[in-house]
């Protein structure tokens, strides 16, 4: 029996993520003193009895996050970490409910789309980067993705490439570029994430950027929607989260989908017939960074945790385990990782990066246009 996800919905609508109505003024840091982070080298008694709440994506990602960062942090500092597993849409909802007071988390993971909404809602603290001992080792291309209104907000953990994931037992000749997904031989076997899911908006951005187009150019956006319409009648699944993407590929409901390199390589490692193509015309960047919400009562401990999060020592096992490039440029990866994964400043500079300043306020409208094509 085919998965429910593979059935082409009639009249189906993907509810857009609620976006901020405008961009709030970015506030400067309100503290006049520096934060003693301890540089990740404190003794086991330094934070005894203190607790912080940190978010992590659910599943194997979260398990590896705990092993790579949380366990050594608790051992070295004596600070207990309460992990909240889930996804950034849910965390953003809780931050909004708190309204910048009595924050539900002390350190929170967000992808760029959620970041822009959080900053627009005045829910995050700008970073005091001078109080992060590894800040200068972090990739400047990645830190710029979390810089809004001249203020740095996020510590980049890992970045991936959105390209084409495909079934190697169904597609014998690997696709080479984005346009290959429109090949009629794949019609009926294409999975297409909606624009309200990061993977879908990243793919749409790749279509817009063809020929030098920008999301801020209505003509380029119209051209991308015209291109997208060529897939009408050819899409077999509309996965709106990572688990659904994996499911439709595993079940054979789809043979090809715009998705991330790390996820593809993890599936391949599990023995699944999965391959990944870095598009010849350029991949789209996908980034996870960590932030300090407004209203935390544990800023000092939060900065200490961010130092662990940003260190090459702790990022290396996490990056290699997830097959994503770490935010710290000084990591010496294993030969196997270097051979398989494209990473580093030179790679990130060539990425298409989603222009969320433009996309966020238009996302509802664009998703409605998407719905009209694939109704």
* Domain residue spans of the chain: 4-14+161-285+356-373, 38-159+286-349
- pLDDT on residue 20: 33
- pLDDT on residue 19: 34
- pLDDT on residue 39: 40
The reported pTM is: 0.86
What is the third-level CATH fold of 38-159+286-349? Answer: D-Maltodextrin-Binding Protein; domain 2 (3.40.190)
- pLDDT on residue 210: 86
> Where does 4-14+161-285+356-373 sit in CATH, by number?
3.40.190.10
**CB of 281 within 8 A of CB of 177?**
yes
Tokens of 139: 């990739």
Q: Which residues are paired to 288 by β-bridges?
A: 158
- pLDDT on residue 35: 35
The residues of the chain scoring below 70 in pLDDT are 1-48
- pLDDT on residue 37: 36
The SS3 of residue 152 is strand
- pLDDT on residue 49: 80
**Strand 235-237 with 190-191, pairing:** parallel
Q: Which residues are paired to 148 by β-bridges?
A: 151
């Amino acid at each position: 029996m085919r998965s429910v996800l593979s059935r082409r919905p009639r009249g189906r609508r993907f509810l857009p993520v609620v976006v901020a109505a405008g961009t709030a003024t970015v506030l400067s840091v309100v503290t006049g003193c520096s934060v003693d982070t301890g540089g990740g080298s404190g003794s086991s008694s330094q934070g005894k009895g203190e607790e912080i709440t940190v978010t992590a994506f659910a599943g194997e990602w979260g398990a590896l996050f705990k092993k790579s960062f949380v366990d050594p942090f608790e051992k070295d500092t004596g600070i207990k970490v309460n992990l909240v597993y889930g996804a950034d849409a849910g965390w953003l909802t809780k931050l909004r409910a708190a309204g910048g007071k009595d924050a539900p988390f002390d350190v929170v993971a967000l992808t760029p789309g959620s970041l822009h909404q959080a900053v627009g809602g005045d829910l995050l603290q700008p970073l005091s980067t001078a109080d992060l001992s590894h800040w200068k080792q972090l990739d400047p291309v990645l830190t710029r993705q979390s810089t809004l209104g001249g203020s740095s907000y996020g510590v980049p953990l890992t970045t991936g490439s959105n390209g084409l994931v495909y079934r190697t037992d169904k597609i014998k000749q690997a696709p080479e570029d984005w346009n290959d997904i429109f090949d009629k031989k794949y019609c009926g076997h294409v999975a297409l994430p909606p624009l309200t899911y990061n993977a879908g908006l990243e793919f749409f951005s790749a279509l817009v950027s063809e020929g030098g187009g920008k999301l801020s150019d209505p003509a380029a956006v119209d051209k991308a929607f015209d291109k997208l319409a060529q897939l009408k009648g050819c899409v077999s699944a509309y996965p709106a989260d990572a688990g659904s993407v994996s499911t439709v590929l595993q079940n054979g409901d789809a043979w090809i989908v715009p998705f991330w390199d790390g996820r593809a390589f993890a599936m391949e490692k599990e023995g699944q017939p999965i391959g990944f193509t870095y598009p010849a015309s350029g991949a789209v960047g996908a980034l996870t960074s960590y932030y300090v919400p407004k209203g935390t009562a544990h800023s000092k401990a939060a900065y200490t945790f961010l130092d662990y999060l940003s260190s090459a020592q702790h990022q290396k096992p996490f990056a290699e385990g997830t097959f994503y490039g770490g935010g710290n440029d000084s990591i010496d990866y294993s030969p196997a990782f270097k051979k398989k994964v494209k990473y580093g400043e030179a790679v990130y500079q060539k990425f298409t990066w989603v222009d969320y300043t433009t996309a966020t306020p238009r996302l509802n409208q664009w998703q409605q246009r998407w719905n009209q094509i694939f109704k």
